[in-house]
Amino acid sequence: MDFALSEEQRLIQQSAREFSDRALAPHAAAFDRGENPEGYVENLRELTRLGFHGMMVAGEWGGSEVGALAYVLAVAEIGRGCASTGSAMSINNLVTSMLNQSAGDDQKARFLHPICTGEKPFAGFCLTESGAGSNPAEMRTAARPAVQNGQSGWVLNGAKQWISNAGIAETFLVWACSGEIGSRQITCFIVEGGADGLSIGPHDEKMGQCASHTNEVVLEDCFVPDDHIVGELHEGLRLAFGSLDGGRLGIAALALGIAGAALDYATCYALEREQFGKKLAEHQGLQWMLADCHTELEAARLLLYRAAWLRDAGQPINKEASMAKLYCTEKGNEICHRALQILGGYGYMREFPLERHVRDIRLTSIYEGTSEIQRIVIARCLIEEYGQLV
């Protein structure tokens, strides 16, 4: 078993780390406060130029085609510097990866290629609704057959909630009920930014990842031609669930990056700060905290890397992706809280980055499937596996 990264993977990790240290970490606190939003967006454009918005996309469609392991390496490094940027990068790759897998060639040329090459670099994944979060089958956004200007298609009506990148996206994947509401006949549509009937709500005020553009997406008699359907009619749920495995790897990597940044800061602080006549790191209680945190972070990293490696090998990762997402985000939250505790009162102050890391990482155990949903997925997979042995 070889745990070494390839030369290409090391270079991608190094490139992401250098960009994060130069362009993200020094400005993350300002972005969090809502300052310099143009700089935040320009950093996202730079990620496209670095090839980081189509990392699992074939080269013929503008992707860098480097695989899932290289992708999680990059997301973790970007997340170390700025969680909001890492989150936006993860969503873009979720969209591009799904289009790469499920869209037709004409759709890839028209919609996927511009995202990957930077012509239209931002995309939104519109699945969640106010009454349909963990169970998207309960969505109420409706798609009804229609003809407009002699062109057959569908009219969409409904609202999608908490859509990442919505404020800047030029391409949206939108799921809507194409049959009876509640029938699970759900279809995925491509909706272009600026389409008639498409509107974007105000910027959501979040606890963390405050710089990311999270908004409501509203569809009012929004016409979409037939050739904007991704995959098969009524088969949108299958596409969504299939794509979420890759999305969960991205959020797990983001949690790794945030937790790693928090732990690095707390460890360095413990080596410098003195209390009771000696460094904090010389107190056994703090040593145990640091030992536990670093051990758990390394275990989370290996769990994630294995899931990504399996995906690159063409293996199913439904269980492994959920395990990685669950463990990385839950342990990441714990690590950030312990890191803040090591700083004591200083950790609670906005002058220091720990309080931002705690706020930023909290979302990772909620979106792309809550921790509770991950446990359900894992249990179902285990029951199926062991049921074959009984």
For 294-305, how does the pLDDT look when each residue is reduced to its tens digit (9 = 90+)?
A: 999 999 999 999
Q: Cα torsion at 223, 228, 231, 235 (round to 10°)?
A: -10
374 plus 248 within the same structural domain:
yes
Q: Locate 205 and state its tokens.
A: 């005020």
Domain final position from 200, 234, 268:
234
CATH number, domain containing residue 209: 2.40.110.10
Identify which of 33, 42, 23 has the alpha carbon closest to the alpha carbon of residue 81: 23
Q: Can you give the pLDDT at residue 125?
A: 97
For 242-292, how does the pLDDT look when each residue is reduced to its tens digit (9 = 90+)?
A: 888 999 999 999 999 999 999 999 999 999 887 888 888 889 989 999 999
Q: Locate 191 and state its tokens.
A: 């909706």
Q: Is there a domain that residue 375 lies in?
A: yes
Q: Can you give the pLDDT at residue 389?
A: 77
Domain final position from 121, 151, 180:
121
Distance CA 89, CA 121 (A): 10
Q: Is there a domain that residue 278 lies in?
A: yes
Q: How many domains does the chain have?
A: 3
Q: Is there a domain that residue 70 lies in?
A: yes
Q: Is the pLDDT of residue 1 over 80?
A: no
| Segments of the chain assigned E as strands | 123-126, 142-148, 151-164, 171-177, 186-192, 198-200, 214-225, 229-230, 274-275, 278-279
Q: Is 368 a catalytic residue?
A: yes
In the block, tokens 């873009």 appear at 92
Q: Can you give the pLDDT at residue 390?
A: 67
pLDDT, the chain, mean: 95
> Length of the chain, please?
390
Distance CA 192, CA 199 (A): 11
For 137-167, how does the pLDDT look when each residue is reduced to its tens digit (9 = 90+)?
A: 889 999 999 999 999 999 999 999 999 999 9
Q: For the full predicted model, state whether its pTM sits above 0.85.
A: yes
Candidate from 132-141, 166-175, 196-205 with smallest mean pLDDT: 132-141
Q: Can you give the pLDDT at residue 182?
A: 79
Q: Is there a domain that residue 249 lies in?
A: yes
Name the residue range of residue 262's domain: 244-387
Domain final position from 90, 121, 152:
121
58 plus 106 within the same structural domain:
yes
266 plus 372 within the same structural domain:
yes
138 plus 225 within the same structural domain:
yes
**What are φ and ψ of residue 213, in 5° steps?**
-85, 95
Q: Is there a domain that residue 47 lies in?
A: yes
144 plus 225 within the same structural domain:
yes
129, 216, 320, 368: which one is catalytic? 368
Distance CA 113, CA 110 (A): 7
Q: Is the pLDDT of residue 133 over 80?
A: no
158 plus 257 within the same structural domain:
no
98 plus 44 within the same structural domain:
yes
For 315-364, how does the pLDDT look when each residue is reduced to its tens digit (9 = 90+)?
A: 999 999 999 999 999 999 999 999 999 999 999 999 999 999 999 999 99
Q: Is there a domain that residue 139 lies in?
A: yes
> Which amino acid appears at position 164 of this protein?
S
3-state secondary structure 235-284: EHHHHHHHHHHHHHHHHHHHHHHHHHHHHHHHHHHHHHCEECCEEHHHCH
> Which amino acid appears at position 12 of this protein?
I
Q: Can you give the pLDDT at residue 334?
A: 98
55 plus 38 within the same structural domain:
yes
